[in-house]
Amino acid sequence: MIVDGVERRVFAEELAVEAGQLALLYRAREDLDVRSKGLLDWVTKADLATEKLIRRRIGESFPHDRILGEEEGDDAPRTGAGHVTWVVDPIDGTTWFVSGLPSWCVSIACVDEPGPPFLGVVRDPEGAETFSALGGHGLTINGCRVAVPRRGITDGLVGVGHPRNARHEPTLTFLRRLFAVGGLFCNSGSAALALASVAAGRLVGFFESDLRAWGALAGEALIRESGGWSTDFMGDRSLTTSKPVLAANRGSVAALWDLAEGLLEGWSRPDRHDSQ
């Protein structure tokens, strides 16, 4: 853990709120200027302006840190182990954002490479909620500590994301298995917000077969501090490759792993402690 983790957490929480407010202002405009990056894959003025704001604020406060963002990529070459990287998605859930739907968020994570994320902040501007976690300090929502109940796979909804330009079969296989055990799913449009919902105990789990770092890392930090379980995105020490992600409430780890059997290449089955 880096020594200024608490300072970074406060900074990230405030920054996420500011970035969310900026995105909301753009959403209220008629000239959002939606541009296509591919089939149902859009970027807007709001995405670009919000990421610029986040980068500027981080650069002013932590000038030696690396920044990896969805829209502007990596701002510095890899310099070896032991440096801090901010991983940001200015608007996770852009398709929902431009469609006038409320499920989108600002996602900010910090990684002390090559380790796992030690800080995660997800801001839901529409719901006015800030999910925040710092390693060893627990999960908070709007500054209040949260106790997350233990929930099994049929005690609620499982979030399922389906990545663009990826094979359909992994997602369909997972869904068929989920239906076979009587489970239900939802797709919120934002992986980061779905992972925050797992951390908060609102979803019992989440699966996506091909997720990028900016959609995964903040949520992973939240879930681990809430007592849940998640695949370790940084397990292969790569920030730049997409990977399957599975996350679970502590009461549904084993059952969700069974549903994802064979779909999580490279990951090891959770041990007995994780599954309890």
Total domains present in the chain: 2
pLDDT value of residue 8? 96
- Res. 225 pLDDT band, cuts 50 70 90: very high
Residues 135 and 161 in one domain: no
Report d(CA 128, CA 102) in Å as an integer.
11
The contacts of residue 152 (CB under 8 Å, 6+ apart) are 204, 251, 252, 255
The pair of structure tokens assigned to 31 is 């000239």
Q: Are strands 144-145 and 139-141 parallel, antiparallel or unpaired?
A: antiparallel
CA angle 83–131–158, rounded 5-degree value: 105
Residues 63 and 18 in one domain: yes
With respect to residue 135, please indicate whether it lies within any of the assigned structural domains. Answer: yes
pLDDT value of residue 68? 94
- CA atoms lying within 13 Å on the CB side of residue 78: 9
Whose tokens are 């070459």? That residue is 77
The percentage of the chain sitting over the pLDDT mark of 90, rounded to a whole number, equals: 68
Q: Are strands 144-145 and 35-38 parallel, antiparallel or unpaired?
A: unpaired
> Which residue among 93, 119, 145 closes a domain?
145
With respect to residue 190, please indicate whether it lies within any of the assigned structural domains. Answer: yes
- Report the pLDDT averaged over residues 225-254: 93
- Res. 274 pLDDT band, cuts 50 70 90: very low
Instruction: State yes or no: pLDDT of 78 exceeds 90.
Output: no
In this structure, the chain runs to a length of 276
Task: Point out which residues pair with 206 in neighbouring strands.
Answer: 159, 247
Report d(CA 229, CA 242) in Å as an integer.
19
Whose tokens are 């779909």? That residue is 263
- Tell me the DSSP string of 173-216: HHHHHHHHTT-EEE--S-HHHHHHHHHTTSSSEEEEEEE-HHHH
Residues 136 and 163 in one domain: no
The percentage of the chain sitting over the pLDDT mark of 70, rounded to a whole number, equals: 86
Residues 135 and 14 in one domain: yes
Report d(CA 62, CA 56) in Å as an integer.
10
Residues spanned by the domain of 203: 157-275
With respect to residue 150, please indicate whether it lies within any of the assigned structural domains. Answer: no
Q: Full-prediction pTM beyond 0.85?
A: yes
With respect to residue 152, please indicate whether it lies within any of the assigned structural domains. Answer: no
